[in-house]
């Protein structure tokens, strides 16, 4: 599912729910005011109710999130103020301030000044209302009505916080899904689909990083190992390309099992693989390559004998990357010319050309 589809999915579940809850609050208090003969409050709540219904019906796309948020902020603040001025403190309207701040910070508004100033103004308004009307006597209804109003406000605010938490959970899930998708795309770009080894591009970066570490004396040595499956063209021609892929996968699996704990391996191209092993002595590097060669020769996928030839260049001094790989390649083909299925190794000397 693409990002646009996610936004269309999330929008009605969050902002329409908030707006719907606000419409319910307006309807309940509008009815209460009409019943109590408070026609000034009833008229104002009715206007806010019909505007909110219109927004709920017509403004149902993600691009209207900011408008919905600002409408709820402004109209709810206005209705809260006129209700407190008329009825006094304690009916629960003051609780809406906390809810409005929470909704505001959950909104997509990115303007820092607007993000800070609106809650600050609401806080100042809250303080002014408290000191002005905090001790005001009840003008309408009984203590029972006051308690019912307060509990209803508290319940509706609790429901809205649940909706906001749902929004946070959805956002977190979407972020995680997007991150996983990005990681998946990155893996597709970096990993060879057949062998599950690095392909050439990321391996070039790994090689460059290791050569830089060698040049800076962060590591003492590097081994470049080139591996080429022997007679691979004949295998393809004789047994078919599907079996050829099986051989490639099997060799890659062996390379990974034998070398990955010491260094990095890649499919360098076709039936050729390249590994880089840092910070091991030359004897250990040759042992690793030889053990890998033996494992490949012993594999016999589908009872077909296979083998591979290795060229290993051991480096302790700074050297051009391309020159190092070229030397390892020459060592590999020396092994091919000497009968294949062997490891040909050499330690690089600074005066070597």
Domains and CATH numbers, the chain: 3-185 (no CATH), 200-347 (3.30.70.270)
pLDDT of residue 283: 95
Residue tagged 């690793």 (tokens)? 288
pLDDT of residue 28: 86
**Cα angle at 310 between 192 and 325, to 5 degrees?**
70
Rounded to whole angstroms, how far apart are CA atoms 269 and 116? Answer: 57
Rounded to whole angstroms, how far apart are CA atoms 160 and 103? Answer: 9
pLDDT of residue 14: 66
pLDDT of residue 300: 87
Name every residue whose Cβ is closer than 8 Å to that of residue 2 and which is 6 or more positions away in sequence.
none
pLDDT of residue 101: 61
Residue 296 CB coordination number (10 Å) = 25
329 touches 344 (CB < 8 A)? no
pLDDT of residue 277: 95
What Å distances lie between residue 243 and 125, 126, 199, 254, 302, CA to CA? 77, 77, 21, 17, 9
What Å distances lie between residue 268 and 102, 261, 272, 273, CA to CA? 54, 19, 5, 5
Quick check: pTM over 0.85?
no
Rounded to whole angstroms, how far apart are CA atoms 162 and 72? Answer: 17
Nearest residue to 129 via CA among 98, 92, 94: 94
Rounded to whole angstroms, how far apart are CA atoms 193 and 138? Answer: 75
pLDDT tens by residue, the chain, 353 residues: 433 334 334 444 566 777 888 888 888 888 888 887 888 888 988 999 998 888 888 776 666 777 777 787 788 888 888 888 887 777 777 776 666 665 555 555 556 666 667 667 767 777 777 777 666 655 555 566 676 777 777 777 676 666 655 555 444 444 445 555 554 555 556 788 888 899 988 999 999 999 999 999 899 999 999 999 999 999 999 999 899 999 999 999 999 999 999 999 999 989 999 999 998 999 999 999 999 999 999 998 888 999 999 999 999 988 899 999 999 999 999 999 999 999 999 999 877 55
DSSP-derived letter for residue 198 is: B
146 touches 91 (CB < 8 A)? yes
pLDDT of residue 74: 82
pLDDT of residue 173: 41
């Amino acid at each position: 599912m693409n990002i646009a589809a996610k936004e269309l999915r999330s929008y009605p579940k969050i902002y329409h729910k908030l707006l719907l809850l606000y419409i319910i609050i307006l309807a309940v208090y509008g009815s209460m005011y009409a019943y109590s003969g408070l026609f000034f409050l009833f008229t104002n709540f009715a206007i806010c109710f019909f505007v909110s219904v219109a927004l709920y019906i017509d403004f149902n796309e993600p691009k209207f999130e900011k408008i919905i948020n600002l409408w709820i902020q402004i109209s709810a603040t206005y209705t809260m103020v006129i209700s407190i001025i008329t009825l006094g403190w304690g009916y629960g309207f003051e609780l809406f301030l906390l809810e409005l701040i929470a909704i505001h910070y959950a909104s997509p508004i990115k303007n820092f000044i607007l993000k800070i100033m609106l809650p600050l103004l609401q806080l100042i308004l809250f303080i002014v209302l408290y000191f002005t009307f905090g001790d005001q006597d009840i003008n309408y209804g009984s203590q029972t009505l006051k308690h019912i109003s307060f509990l209803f406000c508290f319940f509706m605010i609790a429901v809205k916080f649940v909706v906001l938490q749902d929004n946070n959970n959805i956002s977190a899930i979407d972020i995680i899904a997007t991150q996983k998708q990005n990681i998946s795309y990155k893996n597709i770009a970096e990993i060879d689909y057949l062998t599950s080894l690095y392909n050439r591009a990321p391996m070039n970066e790994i090689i460059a990083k290791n050569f830089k570490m060698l040049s800076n004396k962060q590591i003492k040595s590097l081994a470049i190992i080139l591996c080429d499956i022997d007679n691979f063209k004949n295998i393809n021609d004789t047994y078919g390309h599907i079996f050829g892929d099986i051989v490639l996968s099997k060799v890659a699996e062996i390379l990974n099992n034998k070398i990955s704990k010491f260094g990095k391996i890649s499919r360098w191209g076709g039936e050729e693989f390249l590994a880089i092993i840092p910070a091991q002595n030359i004897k250990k590097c040759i042992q690793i390559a030889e053990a890998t060669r033996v494992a490949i020769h012993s594999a016999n996928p589908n009872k077909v004998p296979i083998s591979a030839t290795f060229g290993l260049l051991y480096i302790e001094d700074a050297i051009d990357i391309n020159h190092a790989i070229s030397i390892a390649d020459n060592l590999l083909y020396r092994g091919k010319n000497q009968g294949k299925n062997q490891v040909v190794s050499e330690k690089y000397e600074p005066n070597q050309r």
